[in-house]
Amino acid sequence: MDSDLQELSGHLRKRGLRVELDAAGFLRAGTSVNDLVEEIAMAGVRYITALGHEIGEQGREATCAERVAHLLAAPVQTGPRDRTS
């Protein structure tokens, strides 16, 4: 599962977010624009926030990264998107 969080980390970085992945399996993402930080973990094949909000599912990391960036009110920086077909 750590590799999934690492992949999500890469997509978050492409969107200009600061990312930290700890040994306990939690990913923390934030911006340099504001003090907002989102903590993300895996629950089965789903990415969830510390508040229990589902961000998306394994294999859809680019889309999850867009959602996290939106939650953090990050300036728009585009990156690759997941294919929908």
Q: How many angstroms separate the CA atoms of 9 and 68, rounded?
A: 11
Express each pLDDT in 12-68 by its tens digit: 999 889 999 988 889 999 988 788 899 999 999 999 999 999 999 999 999 999 999
Instruction: Give the whole-angstrom CA distance, residue 73 versus residue 4.
Output: 23
* Per-residue model confidence (pLDDT) at position 3: 82
Cα three-residue angle 31-24-7, rounded to 5 degrees: 55
Decide: 17 and 30 in contact? Cβ < 8 Å.
Answer: yes
C-alpha R_g of the chain: 12
The pTM score is 0.81
- 76 pLDDT exceeds 70? no
Which of 55 and 76 is assigned the larger pLDDT? 55
Report whether pLDDT(83) > 70: no
In this predicted structure, what is the pLDDT of residue 72? 87
